[in-house]
A and B are shown apart, each in its own frame.
Chain A
Amino acid sequence: MSTTEKDLREHFNQKYSSFRKTLNGSQSPKIDELREHAINALNQNGFPLTRDEEYKYTPITRALLKSFKFTEEHPDEITMVPPFGEHLISGLNGYILVFWNGKLVFNSGDTPKNLSISPLQDLSKEQQERLSQYLGKLVNYQLDAYAALNTALLNQGSVITLKEGTNLDQPVVIYHLTDASQGPVYTQTRHLILAEKNAKATVIEIYKNLSEDHQGFQNVASEIYLEDAAQLDLFKIQTDTAGALLVDNTNIEQKDNSQVRCHTITTTGDIIRNNLNISVKGQNCESHMNGLYLVNGTSLIDNHTLVDHRMPNSYSNELYKGIVDDTATGVFNGKIYVQPDAQKTNAFQSNKNILLSDKATMNTKPQLEIWANDVKCSHGATTGQLDAEQVFYLRSRGLDEKQATGLLLYAFATEFLEQVSLPVLNEYLERIIADRLYQLKS
């Protein structure tokens, strides 16, 4: 008998009950209550199927049902720290956290006093109590079942605090490694980032799926608070994610004069869903969303973004670009809300896609909802082939068709890198893009 959505819920309810037992009163009642709310939301709403508008093109629940024979689920106790060195990006120095199947296995520690990184699972009751004003306040577990699941099982992860005025000398680098070589695994982590006034930092999240033979399901959620004039560059690097099932929920709240630049790059994965939600609760904020996906085979990459302008005089700019080949699918849904109070908002959105095969699919949907009258908003979406005129021009100069299309695709894709200022990362990603395009064209 095949597994149903109900079985899936039951499975996770059991997991939830046994998890609750292990907590054994160590938890602040507020956090306990949050978990309880979240599991209730999950039970009420169920896992999203493709009949749900928000997951219309993204059968990730079905994939989960298919690949997980729950009795075989690999026990997630890690008794020995596996060697993970080879999975780190060489030359990318920083304050490093490594999660292996959802467990923190490495914390480089040694942080300067303006930065604190605490494992979420190690917080004292008092700390939990204090952080309960942040935890679960941005992640919308009513709207997204995977966010609900992540909240119900909230345990491993990190709390990263950037003290007032910090200008971090190195990035915080978080590795999410999933190893399903022993059988399918469900892994999750949860992060809370608090950037106090005038703090400035770069956070890089790297997602990797280490074995393609079984499926690893990664469920990552983060809540990020930017206080006045804080600045954050946030990277999501999903380039070693072949075979992965992955849902990422990232929720950001911005106060006055804060700036956030999000860069999401995805080049592989079975089904990857990124929810990026930015709530602009201050004036004179900047929110940048920079995305690139390069997909082939049968991969499905789904980026859902939302920027919710709640206050006047802020600026948001979004550019997502994609190249889709073979029978792969790309999904882009970009919501812009401009609330009645958010006068003088400037909000721009653009989604550009190139399809390299006639079986490749791109579903793109800009969704602008504007309740204020004095705003500047624009959006545009294009999906098509490479420009034949451009190809002809280059060929007329002596480049063969492959060189011409290669050059054009490279130019198209590397616009993403213009906003990547960290040199090691820029070089790393450039190499990945070049390699990837080489695979796509052949």
Chain B
Amino acid sequence: MLKVENLKASVEGKSILNGIDLTVNAGEVHAIMGPNGSGKSTLASILAGRESYEVTDGSITFLNQDLLELAPEERAREGLFLAFQYPVEIPGVTTTNFLKTAVNQIREHRGQEALDAVTFLKLIKEKMKLVKIDDSLLSRSLNDGFSGGEKKRNEIFQMAVLEPKLAILDETDSGLDIDALKVVANGVNSLRNKDNAVVVVTHYQRLLDYIVPDFVHVLYNGKIVKSGDKDLALKLEAKGYDWIRENAELAT
């Protein structure tokens, strides 16, 4: 589904990603861990199409297409979704407000008919239940005055509505209380099937108890320096990143 090869990227001349290789197949869950500033969000942003990063080398294919050639909205319509680490506030625009356009753009792209207002509302209601999000949140300006947890839950709600093929969750667990964490994990799990895939960026093993990964990768200094199964996350939780750092430094 997704194949990242030797991806190098920089911002304002500063190199941040230094050759990333990552393959995600349908049906898989990947976890990306790594210390602060190692480049996790940068990778996620580049996948979603943020233009402020310059890709200096490498390639990304998504569903057999050159992802880097696609505009952000084309990526979304192809089925890529990013739950932002820091979702932006948009005064005057409510979630329901833009989500209807989003859903119908994606449907049009898939050759499906646009949803009418009633059907859309039904869809919204159903997904609201799934992620236990409140009506009032959806009719407020997007993220404007939302608590940290509310912002994250709103991201997952959008994911549930848009039903992406590849969902990238950038620290969606940060700032969530334990109940909210379960709700989010539950939301993700109920959307999983053999045709889609999830990449979770996280600092904590905790989330991975609920969303069990098939692969765990450690990103360090803009490179994936170690990959393994879910036990790697447990090991990181127990030992921290120092041993990874040492190994990585030995390797260079």
Contacts and interface: CB of A to CB of B under 8 A. Distances in A.
Interface string A375-415: 00000000000011110111111111101100110111011
A411 B93 contact: yes
Max chain B Cβ within 10 angstroms of own Cβ: one of A389, A397, A410: A397
Interface string B210-248: 000000000000000000000000000000000000000
Given A395-B72, A396-B73, 11 more contacts: A392-B49, A392-B72, A394-B93, A394-B98, A395-B73, A398-B101, A398-B103, A399-B73, A399-B105, A400-B71, A408-B90
Interface string B187-206: 00000000000000000000
B158 to A, nearest CB: 7
A387 B91 CA distance: 11
Contacts of B50: 392
Interface residues of A, number: 23
Contacts of A407: 93, 97-98, 101
Interface residues of B, number: 32
A393 B77 CA distance: 14
A412 B92 contact: yes
A132 to B, nearest CB: 47
Contacts of A415: 91-92
A403 B48 contact: no
A401 B91 CA distance: 18
Interface string B82-106: 1010011011110001110111011
A396 B49 contact: yes
B90 A411 contact: yes
A397 B81 CA distance: 7
17 contacts: A388-B52, A390-B88, A393-B84, A393-B87, A394-B102, A395-B71, A396-B75, A397-B73, A397-B102, A398-B105, A399-B98, A399-B101, A399-B102, A400-B105, A403-B105, A407-B93, A415-B92
Contacts of A412: 92
Interface in A85-128: none
B76 interface: yes
Interface string A196-213: 000000000000000000
A209 B105 CA distance: 40
Contacts of B52: 388
Interface of A: 387-390, 392-401, 403-404, 407-408, 410-412, 414-415
B49 A403 contact: no
Main secondary structure of the interface of A (DSSP, over half): helix
The 7 A-B residue pairs with the shortest CB-CB distance, nearest first, are A411-B92, A398-B76, A395-B72, A397-B102, A398-B102, A398-B105, A395-B73
A401 B87 CA distance: 18
B102 A392 contact: no
B136 to A, nearest CB: 18
A395 B87 CA distance: 13
Given A392-B50, A393-B84, A393-B87, A398 B93 contact: no
B67 interface: no
A415 B92 CA distance: 7
B93 A408 contact: yes
B162 interface: yes
A392 B88 CA distance: 10
B177 interface: no
Interface in B31-86: 48-52, 71-73, 75-77, 81-82, 84
A392 B51 contact: yes
B49 A397 contact: no
A393 B90 contact: yes
B19 to A, nearest CB: 25
